[in-house]
RNA sequence: GGCGGGUUAGCCAAGUGGUAAGGCGGGAGUCUGCAAAACUCCUAUCGUGAGUUCGAUUCUCACACCCGCCUCCA
C-alpha cells in the first residue's frame, strides 16, 4: 500500500508505527458557516482513506477536530448577538448531518478546540520554556520560527525569502519579532466580547494551529501515523503544527502527510460570485442524492483537481443505476468467472487510493458478467465480494423495491393484454405505471417491475 | 516574483517508453409487438514547439492557458 507523502513528495510504502494500529488525524471544519462541496471533498477523502485502511485490516483510530473558536466565528457571534456555543453548535450539527448524508463514517473521536484549551496552554508553556515562543508586549504569545531550523520542510519553502509574500507584507496588527512568526495565544480584545479564556498571559484565546497539535497528540500520541487535510492547509497550518509539536516534544510529529486537491465547479473556481457555490443542502434540494454526490467526489483521484458539474451528477446517477441494475439482477441471474475483480480493485486502491481505476475495474467486471449466465453459487460469491468492496466505496447495496399489489395487478393485466396482442392497452398500462415511477422490463422469465 | 499541481475524445476521468482503462452522452445494430435492460460495433494521432530515443501521449527543455499556496480558505 502506497501513499503520496507531502513531506517527501513521493509515493511511499505505508508502514504504521505500531501495526496493526494506525493513528489518523484529519483536519475538521471551522464551524462559522455551512460547509460547501469543496470542504466535503476533503472529508470524503478522509473517509476513503480510513475505510481503505480498515479494509486492509488496520485498526484505525480516527480523530477529527472541530474548530469552534476562530476569528470568523467571533465575527459571527458579534453580528448575531448569539453566544459562541449556539453559533458553533448550529454549524457543527449541520456538518455532522452532511457527513451522514454522504455516508461518511464518523471519526472515533471528534474533539472541539474549546474543550482542549488546558492542553494547548500546557503546550505553549512548554514552548516558552524551551525558548521556542515568546510573550509580546501586547500579551500575545508567538512562536519563533528561527528557533526551529527545520521550519519549511513540509511545504518546501524557505522562510525569510524576500520573494515570498510574507516577507513583503507589513503587519501593523501584531507585535511579532519576525514576520513569519505566528500566534500561539491571542490576547483578548474588546471586539472578542465574551469569547475568552484565562491563561498565564492573561485572558485570550488560542491561535489556530495550536489546537491541532494539542488535540492530535492528546489522542494519538506525540508521534502518529497519518495527518490529512486540504492542500491549502500545507502552509502555514500544517507547517506550523510540525514546528510547534516537534519543538515541544522533541520527537517527529507525523509520519505521513496526505493532502487532497481542491475542486472546480463547472470548470471555475467555486465562488458565490459565479453562482456555483454549493452546500450539500443546495444539491439535495435540486433532487440529487448524497450517494450521487459521493460518487462524483470519488470519481477522480484525490490529488487531482476535480471538476464538479451538474452533468457529472447526472452521469453519476446513470452509472450508479448501471451498478444497481447489475446487482439487483444477480440473484435471479448469476457468474461465469469472478475474474480478478477483487485483485484489480485492491491493486488500484493500494496505489495511492486510485478510485478512478478502481471504478474502472468494477465496470469492466460488470460488462463481463453481464455477458454470461451466472450460476447461483457464483452470484453469492460476487455479492460477497461486492459487499466487501462497498465497505470502502460506501455507495451502499441497492435494495429491491417490492411493487405494491395494485402495481402488480396492472403488470398482470398488461401481460394478459400482450398475450392477446392488445398492444394499445398494454402500452397504456405501461405509461400509467411510468407515471407512478414504475418501469417494466419484459424478460424471458416474465415482466419485472422496477422503480424508476 | 517563489513553490506546487494540472492540460487525455461532446462531458467526466485513469494510465503507459512501443500508437490510450472506465463512466456518461451520441450514432448504428442484436434482442423485443414496441420498449426497457443487456450485449456488439463506431465516437481521441493524449495543450503548442523542440530535443533524447529504433520508437514519446508517457522522459528533458521551452511556451501557452488553468488551478492552489505564499496574512488563520478543504
Cβ(A1)–Cβ(A56) under 8 Å?
yes
| Residue A162 predicted with pLDDT over 60 | no
For A306: left if phi > 0, alpha if psi spans -120 to 50, otherwise beta; the answer is beta
Q: What is the CATH number of domain A265-393?
A: 1.10.730.10
| pLDDT level of residue A334 (50, 70, 90 thresholds) | very low
Q: Is the pLDDT of residue A412 over 90?
A: yes
pLDDT at A169 over 50: no
- For the structural domain made of A2-260, what CATH number should be given? 3.40.50.620
Question: What residues are paired with A204 via a beta bridge?
Answer: A187, A197
**Per-residue pLDDT at A166:** 41
In the predicted model, is pLDDT for residue A337 greater than 80? no
Of A100, A97, A40, residue with least CA distance to A296 = A40
All three cell numbers of A85: 456555543
Answer for A344: CB within 7 Å of strand B: no
ipTM exceeds 0.90, yes or no: yes
Given pLDDT bands bounded at 50, 70 and 90, which one contains residue A335?
Answer: very low
The predicted model gives A435-450 an average pLDDT of 89
Q: Say yes or no: Cβ of A360 under 7 A from any atom of strand B.
A: yes
Distance (Å) from CA A321 to C1' B23?
Answer: 11
The whole-number pLDDT of residue A274 equals 76
**pLDDT at residue number A160:** 56
- What backbone phi and psi angles, to 5 degrees, belong to A217? -65, -40
Chain Cα centroid distance, residue A198: 34
Q: Give me the CA A300–C1' B48 separation in Å, rounded.
A: 26
Residue A22: predicted pLDDT? 98
Q: Which residue has the higher pLDDT, A307 or A137?
A: A307
DSSP code of residue A107:
P
Query: If you average pLDDT over residues A351-368, what whole number do you get?
Result: 95
Q: State the angle between helix axes of A71-80 and A84-101 in degrees (0 to 180), rounded to the nearest 10.
A: 110
Per DSSP, A336 falls in state: S
Q: Where exactly are the structural domains of chain A? A: 2-260, 265-393, 405-451
Place of cell 488546558: A118
Among the listed ranges A108-117, A145-154, A188-197, A370-379, which one has the minimum average pLDDT value? A370-379
Burial class (CB in 10 A: 0-12, 13-18, 19+), A273: exposed
A315 touches strand B (CB under 7 A): yes
Q: Is A422's CB less than 7 Å from nucleic acid strand B?
A: no
Spell out the residues 6+ positions from residue A420 whose beta carbon is closer than 8 angstroms to its own.
Answer: none
pLDDT tens per residue across span A195-208: 999 999 999 999 98
The answer, yes or no, to whether residue A5 has pLDDT greater than 90, is yes
Q: Is the CB of A74 under 7 A from strand B?
A: no
Q: What is the pLDDT of residues A239-293, one digit of tens each?
A: 999 999 999 999 999 999 999 999 999 988 888 777 888 999 999 999 999 999 9
CB proximity A442–strand B (7 Å threshold): yes
Of the listed ranges A35-44, A150-159, A192-201, A305-314, the one predicted with least confidence = A150-159
| Least confidently predicted of A127-141, A229-243, A333-347 | A333-347
- Mean predicted lDDT score pLDDT of chain A: 90
Residue A114 has pLDDT above 90, yes or no: yes
**Residue A41 contacts strand B, CB under 7 A:** yes
pLDDT score, position A452: 81
* Nucleotides in chain B near protein beta carbons (<7 Å): 1-7, 11-15, 21-25, 32-40, 66-74
Q: Which residues contact A374 (CB under 8 A, 6 or more apart)?
A: A330, A333, A334, A335, A336, A382
In the 8-state DSSP scheme, what is residue A82?
-
| Separation in Å, CA A342 to CA A58, A378, A380, A387, A441 | 18, 14, 14, 11, 30
Grid coordinates standing for A308?
A: 464538479
Q: Please, which pLDDT band fits residue A175 given cuts at 50, 70 and 90? A: low
Within residues 203-262 of protein chain A, the ones with CB less than 7 A from nucleic strand B are 207-208, 229-237, 260-262
Measured from the CB, is A109 under 7 Å from any atom of strand B? no
Res. A331 pLDDT band, cuts 50 70 90: low
CA-to-C1' span, A267 to B65 (A): 13
Strand B within 7 A of A363 CB: yes
Spacing of A356 CA from B22 C1' in Å: 8
Q: What is the DSSP letter of A254?
A: E
Residue A240 to residues A170, A192, A209, Cα–Cα distance (Å) = 20, 24, 6
Q: Average the pLDDT over A141-168 and give the result.
A: 74
pLDDT of residue A165 exceeding 50, the answer is no
Q: How far is CA A39 from the centre of its chain?
A: 7
Q: Which residues of A309-337 are buried (b: 16+ CB within 10 A; e: fewer)?
A: eeebbeebbebbeebbebbbbbeebbbee
**Could you tell me if A154 and A257 are in contact, meaning their C-beta atoms sit under 8 angstroms apart?**
yes
How far, in Å, are A111, A119, A197, A219, A383 from residue A116 at the CA level?
8, 6, 11, 11, 45
Amino acid at each position: 500500500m502506497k501513499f503520496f507523502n507531502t513531506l517527501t513528495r513521493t509515493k511511499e510504502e505505508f508502514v504504521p508505527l505500531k501495526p496493526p494500529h494506525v493513528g489518523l488525524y484529519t483536519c475538521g471544519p471551522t464551524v462559522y458557516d455551512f460547509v460547501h462541496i469543496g470542504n466535503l471533498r476533503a472529508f470524503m477523502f478522509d473517509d476513503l482513506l480510513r475505510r481503505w485502511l480498515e479494509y486492509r485490516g488496520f485498526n484505525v483510530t480516527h480523530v477529527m477536530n472541530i474548530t469552534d473558536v476562530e476569528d470568523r466565528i467571533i465575527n459571527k457571534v458579534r453580528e448575531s448577538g448569539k453566544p459562541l456555543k449556539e453559533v458553533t453548535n448550529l454549524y457543527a450539527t449541520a456538518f455532522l448531518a452532511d457527513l451522514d448524508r454522504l455516508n461518511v463514517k464518523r471519526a472515533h473521536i471528534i474533539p472541539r478546540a474549546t474543550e482542549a484549551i488546558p492542553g494547548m496552554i500546557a503546550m505553549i508553556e512548554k514552548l516558552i520554556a524551551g525558548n521556542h515562543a515568546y510573550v509580546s508586549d501586547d500579551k500575545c504569545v508567538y512562536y519563533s520560527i528561527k528557533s526551529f531550523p527545520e521550519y519549511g520542510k513540509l511545504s518546501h519553502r524557505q522562510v525569510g525569502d524576500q520573494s515570498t509574500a510574507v516577507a513583503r507584507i507589513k503587519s501593523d496588527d501584531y507585535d511579532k519579532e519576525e514576520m513569519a512568526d505566528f500566534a500561539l495565544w491571542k490576547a483578548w480584545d474588546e471586539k472578542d466580547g465574551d469569547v475568552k479564556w484565562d491563561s498565564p498571559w492573561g485572558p485570550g484565546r488560542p491561535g489556530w494551529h495550536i489546537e491541532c497539535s494539542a488535540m492530535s497528540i492528546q489522542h494519538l500520541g506525540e508521534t502518529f501515523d497519518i495527518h490529512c487535510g486540504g492542500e491549502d492547509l500545507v502552509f502555514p497550518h500544517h507547517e506550523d503544527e510540525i514546528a510547534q509539536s516537534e519543538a515541544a516534544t522533541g520527537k517527529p510529529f507525523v509520519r505521513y502527510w496526505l493532502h487532497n486537491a481542491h475542486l472546480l465547479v463547472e470548470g471555475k473556481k467555486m465562488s458565490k460570485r459565479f453562482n456555483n457555490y454549493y452546500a450539500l443542502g443546495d444539491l439535495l434540494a435540486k433532487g440529487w442524492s448524497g450517494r450521487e454526490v459521493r460518487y462524483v467526489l470519488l470519481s477522480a483521484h484525490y490529488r487531482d483537481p476535480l471538476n464538479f458539474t451538474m452533468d457529472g451528477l447526472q452521469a453519476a446517477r446513470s452509472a450508479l443505476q448501471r451498478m444497481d441494475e447489475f446487482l439487483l439482477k444477480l440473484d435471479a441471474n448469476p457468474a461465469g468467472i469472478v475474474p480478478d475483480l477483487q485483485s484489480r480493485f485492491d491493486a488500484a486502491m493500494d496505489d495511492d487510493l486510485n478510485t478512478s481505476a478502481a471504478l474502472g475495474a468494477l465496470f469492466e467486471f460488470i460488462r463481463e458478467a453481464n455477458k454470461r449466465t451466472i450460476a447461483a453459487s457464483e452470484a453469492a460469491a460476487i455479492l460477497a465480494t461486492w459487499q466487501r468492496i462497498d465497505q470502502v466505496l460506501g455507495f451502499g447495496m441497492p435494495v429491491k423495491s417490492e411493487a405494491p399489489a395494485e402495481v402488480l395487478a396492472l403488470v398482470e393485466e398488461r401481460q394478459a393484454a400482450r398475450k392477446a396482442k392488445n398492444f394499445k392497452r398494454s402500452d397504456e398500462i405501461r405509461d400509467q405505471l411510468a407515471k407512478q415511477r414504475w418501469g417494466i422490463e419484459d424478460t424471458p422469465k416474465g415482466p419485472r417491475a422496477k422503480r424508476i
